[in-house]
Amino acid sequence: MPFTSHLLTMKKKQSSMIQAIYIISRNGVPIHFKELLEEEDNVTKATLFTGIISAIQTVLREIDAGDANYFTTATHEIFLEVTNDFAVALVTEVDEDSDKQSMNTLMSEIITEITFQFEEIPEIGFLIQEDQSKIEGIVDRNLAKWESRKEEGSATKKLKDALW
């Protein structure tokens, strides 16, 4: 297999665990979404999905059950972290070996960086193009860092297995 193809395959394999990242406003409007699986109806799907998350959050608040930070469906796992202004949701395929700690770290890093760069996220979720690009950059950067950490982790696993 050619070198570049191999690297591309590796990258795809690592990314495939996280299927989507959503940044959602307090009112449930998608501020930014990144789908890692290519599908034609991403926008519709993102809108519907963030609506569902928002609805669940609202119901939980209504019944005083607190915020949900993790739930599953038959095929997907959803990780959620909520701040005063916005929420970050990660959608992954169901995987028994999924590393919840690393998902939470990724969400925390995205939240920290957004909070640091934006004084306030509008409730209606409308952002000017420049701010949208900033958030896109934050998500892409942190996702790349997460992937790099996953890759690093595999060397550790191999040496623990082979030597230590």
Binding site for another protein (CB under 8 A): 1-3, 6-7, 10, 148-149, 152-153, 155-156, 158-164
Which residues, at least 6 apart from 105, have a Cβ–Cβ distance to it below 8 Å?
146
Considering the complex, what minimum distance in angstroms separates the CB of residue 143 from another protein? 16
Residue whose CB is less far from another protein, 74 or 162: 162
Residue whose CB is less far from another protein, 128 or 162: 162
Alpha carbons 54 and 31: distance in angstroms, whole number: 13
Alpha carbons 126 and 120: distance in angstroms, whole number: 12
DSSP structure string for 2-48: -HHHHHHHHHHHHHTTEEEEEEEETTS-EEEEEESS--TTHHHHHHH
Considering the complex, what minimum distance in angstroms separates the CB of residue 105 from another protein? 10
Alpha carbons 159 and 94: distance in angstroms, whole number: 27
Considering the complex, what minimum distance in angstroms separates the CB of residue 149 from another protein? 6
Residue whose CB is less far from another protein, 14 or 132: 14
Considering the complex, what minimum distance in angstroms separates the CB of residue 17 from another protein? 17
Tokens at residue 105, please? 């770290």
Residue whose CB is less far from another protein, 3 or 116: 3
Considering the complex, what minimum distance in angstroms separates the CB of residue 155 from another protein? 5
Strands 86-93 and 30-35: unpaired
Residue whose CB is less far from another protein, 86 or 146: 146
Q: 3-class SS at 99?
A: coil
